[in-house]
Structure 1
Amino acid sequence: MILAVCGGKGGVGKSTVSLNLARELGAVAVDADLATPDLPRGRGPDLHDVLAGRAAPLEAVEAVDEIDLLPCGRTLAGARAADLTELPKTLELVDRQFGRVVVDCPAGLARDVGYQIHGADAVVLVTTPDRPALLNAFRTRHLAGELDTPVASVVVNRATADEDREIAARAEDELGAPTTLVPRREPLAESFQAGTPLRDHDPDCGALTAFETLTERIEESERQIAEDAEPV
């Protein structure tokens, strides 16, 4: 299963969700934000190299601590040389080998994330409780619908108050997918800055429960997608 983690607005925590969801699912994390990547750096060939035809997709996957990662390069020249039309095929090859792939998408809409969403089996929408982020999540939901990619789950990140639960409930109704609240916790921010999933950085942090819940919902969506794909 290939999951595209996106949301439209930058700074809502897509990379944090991607890193932790990949760890919980035992998936390969693919940093597909070609211009401003946030997942840990690699030591060998990266997604820039793959999309420019300089490396094979499986050659670029490496173990970084407790997760498998297909990292992205950090140079503008590398981003410009990358052929995004090759991304869906790259994701399919990695998925075929490893079974699950979590794609950290760039901020933005339309062509910014179109290839990432098109190459995925399902989308995880990430937003914060503020209005601009929620509006962008709705726009991304519309884009996913145009590309026939279902929304598996919604994450309301950095939740702090009871009213955020009400916002999450409304978002679940309007976006048509189960919503998980990820609370604002300092260890979560610290773990991402260290490039380490929360489970390995601070397994006693309360935010880990949210990622466990999200994982269960993704696995249920995965089963549903598999059933829908079975021939009648």
Structure 2
Amino acid sequence: MISAHKVCQTVPVYNGELHILKDINLHIDAGESVAIVGASGSGKTTLLGMLAGLDTPSSGEIELQQIEITQLDEEQRAQRRRECVSFVFQNFQLLDSLSALENIMLPLEVKADPAAREKALNYLKRVGLEQRASHYPQQLSGGEQQRVALARAFACEAPIIFADEPTGNLDAETGEHITDLLFELNQENGTTLVMVTHSNELAERCSRQLRLHAGALLE
């Protein structure tokens, strides 16, 4: 499903090079839920972006559903992301000019899904916000915005969900509710879930944890 082989990420700095990721080797099977954990600055979000095809490593290979995405150009990687990846972000990434329903529909419409509205309404109902369909992000609480973001991610029916600190901007009680909803939807859809988190409670609910330290993956 997802694999990395000798992945390194190095950026130039004034006194040489900064090694953000160092010889990362990993494999994630279909249907797994995996938490990438580690201290701030350990390379977690960088690794997540590499695995999702948002960026390319300085060296090494990454395969996403048996396609080596490190050999693709940006347009080809974008197409691969549209086909098999959805995202949940810490800051929700909703468009202020679109309603909750329209935000969920947007990636479906990009893929020319003829059932975009039907699917969006179904998932909006699934996260308990069907009565907020016409509300705009600024009219929603943080927890409600994250529920819309979850609905958007799962409505795409992508086989892989990447989540970057999905409860990071939420209070403890709301974060717990979002966590329950995230794993409930993930189990129902049988997707592969890969997330970055600082939350031990969230990480422990995953089937496996990958721990980074100073850019290296600990055994």
TM-score range, shorter chain: 0.3 to 0.5
TM-score (structure 2 length as normaliser): 0.38
Of Structure 1 and Structure 2, which has the larger fraction of its residues in strand? 2
TM-score (structure 1 length as normaliser): 0.36
